[in-house]
Each structure stands twice: as C-alpha cells, then as structure tokens.
C-alpha cells in the first residue's frame, strides 16, 4: 500500500503505543486478532503488547510489523527471512513449485510479499498451462428445456414468458469453486500490495483471469475442496491460497482497518525442522537408526507424555530422546523444569541417553548420569547446541550430522 510503514520487533519483545508509529487503533486491531486466535500470539500489557514465540508478519492497512526470531537478535546481517522460508519449505509448510520459488524476488521488504509473489507465480504458471473447466449446477431461465424444471420458480419467473424454462442444469465452464477461491486471493493481494510492483503484477494476472462469481470463502469450503488428477497442478496455488485466506481479517477491529498476518510458532517449527533433517540424514547415512517424532505414552489419567524426537538403534534397541528448545540458553543455566521433563522421558522410554537441544554456538556439555541409584539402566543427559546458520548465513546442511555426533550413538 502507499506510504507503508514497517517496524521490526523480536519474539518476546514488548511494543507500546507511540513506538515507531504504533498507534492506539493498531493496538486495538492486534488485540482483536489475538482474541480471535484465543490469545495465542501475544500478551496484553499496559498500553501495548508482549510478543510470544511467533515470528512472521502482521499488516494493518499500511502498517507492517515484522517479528524476527530472537536467536537472530545479535546478528543483524543474517538473512532471517530467507532462512525462515527455507525452514518452512523443508517442513512442508511452504508448498511451491521449484520454478515459482526460484523466481521470487528475495529483496522483498517482508515475508508477506514473498508469499504473495509465490502465489502470483503459481497462478501465472496455471494460466500459461490453461485453466480447467468443471461441471457445476446452475439454476436460471433458459430458452430450451434442459435439466430439472423448477416448478415453483418457473411459475414465479415465467408467468408471462411461457417460452422460457426455469431449470437447474449442468454447465461446463471455468466459474467453479477452485477459480472463485483463487480470485478471492487475487483481491486480497491487490488490496495489500498497492503502491508496490506486486500490485502491477497482480493486475496483469487479473487481466487474464476469467470472470467468476465473487464469494465469501470459509474454512469449511476450503476443507471440502478435493483435488484429482485433472486438478493436481492447482495444489501449490491452492495451499498458498488457503494460507492467505485463513489469515486475512477484514475489518477485524470493528472499524475500517483490514488485517492480514502470517505467523509461525518457532518452537514447533524448530522441532519439525530438526526432525525432518534427522530423518533425511539417517535414511541416507544411518539406515539402522529409526527417527520418530511425537511418540505418545500414557502418564496420569488422561495426560500423556510426548517427547519431540525418539531415535532407536535397531541393532541394539538402544533409545535416545531429544527435546528441542527454541530459546537462548547456556549449558550451565538450564531450567530445572526442562531437566525434570527430559528425565521423565528417559524413565518412560527407558532411554540410555537424552538431550536438550538448543540453537546457538555455545559448547555442548558432556553426558552425565542422573543421580538416582535406583535407575536401571542408568540414564545420561547432556545439553546440546547446534549452529542454525553456516558461514554464508544459510541453513547449516550439516546440522543433523552434528546432532548424531553429539549423541555418540
């Protein structure tokens, strides 16, 4: 939009009214957004908000808030946006064709623009291939009798025009739910990209898009869309469309503000990323290691234990448990709660080794026995740290190998 204002904050940071153009109506809009999501994204504080572990972008009209990972706070040169995109793609949360992703302008000011351009690239490819037609039912006046005659409607509409028939019949065209959803996203992109090159790109795509019915898209409608062999090329565009639509909030604050947000839980993303990297590494180099995520065991009543990652050596049945933590920590100041949690995992999974895994360049500790003389087998614990980025500020491709080495399997 014209006169866009962008501010940068970090997860767990506080933002007050008056900071860098953050105004009262922006605060009201964010509080409504947070309430809609059951107070997930941040905490309300006096005259402001305190962000939680979510990173990404929030845009209220022309006011943009970028939330960066806190682990990035002391490294101003790191390209957090590209790193986050790589993590999302590795975890299957960002589905785009290789051509669509390769053509994205990495110099965008915010993550939202990247998603917008990815969507426009996918849609441009579909237009180049040719959009599909589908059968749909239509109720209307026609000059020849076809389909099912709607008697009540025919009497109502054709009392004078006896030569017409009010029927429900099938038509075969491009005005179907898939294209209606994609068109809705084009409208959203146009609304939030005014004044940028993406707005011009969006208008060019709209010029070649067929005329379709304007609809209000709901989550239920999106969930009901099923793709088949014919519509398979739409999968990436549809996934991006779902993400954009479900994070768009028109007039959420009860006023004129329209909002869109793309926020990701870094705790979950870090866990998923480590799991995917370990599974890929072990499948290629260590086929005797089985890597599983989110195993569940009963604890007390309806409560369950669910460690992040369980690694089993199929040769010896030796078990290792990893609990990932996306926060800044040191190997001598680990919370007692975290240590108790990882010890519980060790007992229930009969794991010889357990590890708390943090991002960072600290030195990992050595394995140490938990001090319980009744443990059989003895459980060992260590605090591990791994580099997220390499020397080129890209995701470290050796992260899984580093973790395996630290486990000393």
pLDDT band at residue 361 using 50, 70 and 90 as cut-offs: confident
Task: Output Rg (C-alpha) for the chain, integer angstroms.
Answer: 27
pLDDT at 100: 59
| Residue 280: inside a domain | no
Instruction: Give residue for tokens 């995701």.
Output: 395
pLDDT at 78 over 70: no
Q: Is residue 378 part of a domain?
A: yes
Token representation of residue 299: 């604890």
The percent of residues above 70 in pLDDT, for the chain, comes to: 90
383 and 254 belong to one structural domain: no
Q: pLDDT tens-digit profile of 6-46?
A: 898 999 999 999 999 999 999 999 999 899 888 999 999 99
Whether residue 104 contacts residue 146, with contact meaning beta carbons closer than 8 Å, is answered with no
Can you give the pLDDT at residue 43? 96
Q: HSE (CB half, 13 Å, CA atoms) of 166?
A: 13
Same domain, 105 and 230: yes
Confidence at residue 109, expressed as pLDDT on a 0 to 100 scale = 58
Q: Is residue 360 part of a domain?
A: yes
Q: Are 53 and 107 in a shared domain?
A: no
* Contact in structure between 238 and 119 (CB atoms under 8 Å): no
316, 358: one domain: yes
Checking if the pLDDT of 1 tops 50, the result is no
Residues 6+ apart with CB under 8 A from 209: 123, 127, 179, 182, 183, 186
In a domain, 270, yes or no: no
**Does one domain contain both 23 and 87?**
no
For residue 103, what pLDDT is reported?
Answer: 63
Task: Tell whether 35 and 145 lie within a shared domain.
Answer: no
Q: Report yes or no on whether pTM surpasses 0.75.
A: yes
Report, as an integer, the average pLDDT of 317-345: 85
Q: How far is CA 247 from the centre of its chain?
A: 10
Together in a domain, 309 and 398 = yes
pLDDT at residue 61 greater than cutoff 60: yes
| Number of domains observed in the structure of the chain | 4
pLDDT at 234 over 70: yes
Q: Is residue 197's pLDDT more than 70?
A: yes
On whether residue 252 sits in a domain, the answer given is yes
Of 232, 265, 298, the domain-final residue: 265
Q: What are phi and psi of 301, to 5 degrees?
A: 60, -125
Q: What is the pLDDT of residue 23?
A: 93
What does the H/E/C string look like for the chain? CCCCEEEEEECCCEEECCHHHCCHHHHHHHHHHHHHCCCCCEEEECCEEEECCEEEEEEECCEEEEEECHHHCCCCCCCHHHHHHHHHHHCCCCCCCHHHHHCCCCCCCCHHHHHHHHHHHHHHHHHHHCCCCEEEEEEEEECCCCCEECHHHHHHHCCCCCCCEEEEEEEEECCCHHHHHHHHHHHHHHHHCCCCHHHHHHHHHHHCCCCCCCCCCCHHHHHHCCCCCCCHHHHHHHHHHHHHHHCEECCCCCCCCCEEEEEEEHHHHHHHHHHHHHHHHHHHHCCCEEEEECCCEECCCCCEECCCEEEEECCCCEEEEEEECCCCCCCCCCCHHHHHHHHHHHHHHCCCEEEEEEECCCCCCCCEECCCCCCCCCCEEEEEEECCECCCCCECCCHHHHHHHHHCC
Which residues span the domain enclosing 140? 134-173
Angle between helices 111-129 and 80-90 (to 10 degrees): 50
User: What pLDDT, in 10s, does the model give residues 89-110?
Assistant: 889 887 766 555 656 665 555 7
381 inside domain:
yes
> What pLDDT is recorded for position 238?
95
Domain membership flag for residue 272: no
Shortest CA distance to 404 belongs to which of 287, 317, 267, 306? 287
Shared domain check, 260 and 213 = no
pLDDT at 77: 44
Q: Looking at the structure, do residues 180 and 197 belong to the same domain, yes or no?
A: yes
Q: Is the pLDDT of residue 394 over 90?
A: no
CA–CA distance, 376 with 350 (Å, rounded to integer): 8
326-354: average pLDDT: 85
93 and 237 together in one domain: yes
Specify the pLDDT at position 256.
62
Residues 6+ apart with CB under 8 A from 147: 167, 168, 169, 170
Average pLDDT over all residues of the chain: 87
Is residue 184's pLDDT more than 70?
yes
339: in domain: yes
Please, what is the angle between helix 111-129 and helix 235-246, to 10°? 140
Residues 238 and 119 reside in one and the same domain = yes
> How many residues in total does the chain contain?
409
pLDDT category of residue 3 using cuts at 50, 70 and 90: low
Say what the pLDDT of residue 253 is: 47
Residue 333 in this model has a pLDDT that exceeds 70: no
For residues 164 and 232, membership in a common domain is answered with: no
pLDDT of residue 211: 94
**What average pLDDT does range 307-317 have in this prediction?**
96
Query: CB-based contacts of 152: which residues, under 8 Å, 6+ apart?
Result: none
Residue range 130-180, pLDDT digits in tens? 999 988 887 777 777 777 777 787 777 877 777 787 888 778 889 999 999
Asked if pLDDT for residue 331 goes beyond 90, the answer is no
């Amino acid at each position: 939009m014209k006169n866009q204002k962008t501010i940068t904050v970090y997860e767990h940071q506080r933002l007050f009214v008056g900071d860098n153009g953050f105004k009262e109506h922006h605060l009201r809009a964010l509080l409504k957004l947070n309430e809609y999501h059951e107070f997930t994204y941040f905490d309300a504080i006096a005259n402001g908000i305190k962000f939680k572990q979510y990173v990404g972008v929030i845009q209220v009209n022309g006011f943009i808030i970028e939330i960066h990972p806190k682990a990035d706070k002391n490294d101003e040169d790191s390209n957090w946006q590209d790193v986050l995109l790589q993590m999302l793609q590795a975890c299957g949360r960002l589905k785009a064709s290789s051509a669509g992703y390769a053509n994205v302008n990495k110099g965008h000011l915010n993550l939202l623009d990247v998603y917008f351009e990815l969507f426009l690239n996918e849609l441009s490819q579909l237009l180049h291939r040719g959009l599909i037609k589908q059968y749909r039912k239509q109720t209307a006046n026609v000059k020849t009798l076809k389909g099912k005659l709607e008697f009540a409607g025919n009497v109502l509409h054709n009392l004078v025009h006896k030569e017409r028939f009010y029927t429900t019949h099938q038509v075969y065209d491009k005005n179907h739910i898939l294209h209606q959803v994609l068109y809705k996203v084009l409208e959203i992109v146009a609304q939030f990209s005014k004044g940028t090159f993406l707005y011009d790109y969006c208008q060019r795509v709209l010029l070649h898009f067929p005329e379709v019915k304007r609809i209000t898209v709901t989550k239920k409608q999106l969930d009901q869309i099923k793709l088949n062999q014919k519509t398979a090329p739409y999968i990436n565009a549809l996934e991006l469309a779902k993400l954009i639509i479900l994070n768009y909030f028109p007039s959420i604050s009860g006023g004129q503000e329209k909002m869109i947000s793309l926020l990701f839980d870094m705790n979950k993303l870090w866990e998923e990323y480590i799991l995917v990297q370990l599974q890929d590494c072990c499948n290629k180099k260590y086929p005797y290691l089985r890597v599983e995520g989110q195993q569940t065991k009963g604890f007390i009543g309806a409560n369950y234990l669910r460690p992040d990652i369980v690694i089993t050596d199929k040769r010896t049945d030796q078990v290792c448990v990893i609990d990932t933590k996306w926060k800044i920590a040191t190997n001598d100041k680990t919370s007692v709660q975290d240590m108790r949690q990882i010890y519980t995992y060790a007992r229930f999974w009969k794991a010889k080794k357990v590890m708390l895994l943090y991002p960072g360049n600290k030195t990992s500790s050595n394995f140490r026995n938990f001090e319980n003389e009744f443990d059989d087998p003895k459980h060992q614990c260590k605090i591990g740290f791994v580099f997220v980025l390499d020397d080129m500020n890209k995701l470290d491709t050796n992260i899984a190998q580093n973790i395996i080495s630290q486990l000393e399997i």
